[in-house]
Amino acid sequence: MILLTGATGTIGSALLAQLAETDAPVRAVAHSPGGRAEIERLGADAVDGDFDQPDTLEAAMRGCDRLFLLSPPHPTQAGRERNVVDAAGRAGVGHVVAVSVMGASHSSAMLSACWHAEIDDYVAASGLGYTILRPAGLMQTHLLPGETVKAEGRWYGMTGHGASAFIDAADVAAVAAHVLTSPGHDGATYELTGPEAVSLPQAAVQLSEVTGRDIAYVDVPVAQFRGNLLSFGLPDWVADSLVAFYQSIREGHAATVTNEVEKATGRPARSYRAFAEAHKEAFAGS
């Protein structure tokens, strides 16, 4: 039995859908009635669980031998995921597949990368079998500025001509599904990327070609970009983490490309062009 956390998020929901197409028995933690309904719609068992209440996690894991560990970025993320790992040990789970981030490091300027470095170390020292997945930035984050693209034909950012090997969340999920349902991954860390490094100006060109609109990337100063994030209601720590992430792209630290997706799944990772085609309505003019 596989237990999924984060099953209704961007990666988790794609994983849940993919596992539903296999014979693997799946159980997923639900945090709301809507989440429970979505989990059950896809044919998985939904169980209650709270990262801040370890007893509920242990109960949810009973009878499970594999765990998919994923939670949203948050200042308490490391502590929450430590709770999950500890509960997994008490419940007799044999293997944990943890989603980290590419560039996870205790010295990173990105808070989320520091938190994930702490979590990765804890998972590795837990005594449980484990596999760590470190994906590059998700293509799905490019859907967030869709409103300005729709309304103005402008995509505002601060990455300059720096490129990143963005990956589709479905490809991260495909690798997770493979690892959860096959042997031979104990102690492995997989760096997951798309098939090419793409800059935001290049992405805007591809979106223009796909939508038939003139979509331009507009680079803005860091202070203005951070202010825009705060104006959307994002907390300071989220804005600072995003600025640090985009600064790393600008400086050329996110352009590494791997073939781990193809090695695991037997097919290449989805290209940015294919992502744009699949989501062109999100960028089409109103």
- The alpha helices in 42-143, defined as continuous H runs, are 54-61, 77-91, 111-124
Any residues with CB less than 8 A from the CB of 199 and at least 6 apart, and which?
159, 160, 161, 162, 163, 164
Please state the rounded mean pLDDT for residues 67-95.
95
Please state the rounded mean pLDDT for residues 150-167.
94
Helix (H, G, I), strand (E, B) or coil at 119: helix
pLDDT at 183: 94
Please state the rounded mean pLDDT for residues 87-108.
96
Please state the rounded mean pLDDT for residues 62-80.
94
What's the length of the chain?
A: 286
> Sorting pLDDT into bands at 50, 70 and 90, what band is 55?
confident
Domain map of the chain by residue range? Answer: 2-135, 137-167+193-255+270-286
Range with lowest mean pLDDT among 14-18, 47-51, 146-150: 146-150
Could you give the dihedral angle defined by the CA atoms of residues 38, 28, 279 and 258, in that order, rounded to the nearest 10 degrees? -170
Instruction: Express each pLDDT in 227-274 by its tens digit.
Output: 989 998 999 999 999 999 999 999 999 999 999 999 999 999 999 999
The pLDDT > 90 percentage for the chain reads 78
Please state the rounded mean pLDDT for residues 66-94.
95
Q: Where are the beta strands (DSSP E) in 101-176?
A: 129-135, 154-157, 163-164
Please state the rounded mean pLDDT for residues 54-61.
90
119, pLDDT greater than 80: yes
Please state the rounded mean pLDDT for residues 163-169.
97
CATH number listed for the domain at residues 2-135: 3.40.50.720
Helix (H, G, I), strand (E, B) or coil at 8: coil
167, pLDDT greater than 70: yes
286, pLDDT greater than 70: no
pLDDT at 246: 94
Any residues with CB less than 8 A from the CB of 250 and at least 6 apart, and which?
158, 159, 160, 162
Could you give the dihedral angle defined by the CA atoms of residues 278, 205, 245 and 81, in that order, rounded to the nearest 10 degrees? 0
pLDDT at 4: 96
The CA-CA-CA angle for residues 49, 52, 56, to 5°, reads 35
109, pLDDT greater than 90: no
Helix (H, G, I), strand (E, B) or coil at 236: helix
Distance CA 167, CA 147 (A): 22
Residue whose C-alpha is closest to residue 210's, from 137, 282, 138? 282
Radius of gyration of the chain (CA): 19
DSSP state letter for 247: H
Cβ atoms within 10 Å of 140's Cβ, excluding its own: 17
Residue type at position 169: A
pLDDT at 177: 97
CATH topology of domain 137-167+193-255+270-286: UDP-galactose 4-epimerase; domain 1 (3.90.25)
Residue whose C-alpha is closest to residue 194's, from 261, 280, 113? 261
Average pLDDT of the chain is 93
Residue type at position 275: F
pLDDT at 69: 98
Q: 188-192 and 129-135: which strand pairing?
A: parallel
Please state the rounded mean pLDDT for residues 103-128.
95
Any residues with CB less than 8 A from the CB of 51 and at least 6 apart, and which?
5, 57, 71, 80, 81, 83, 84
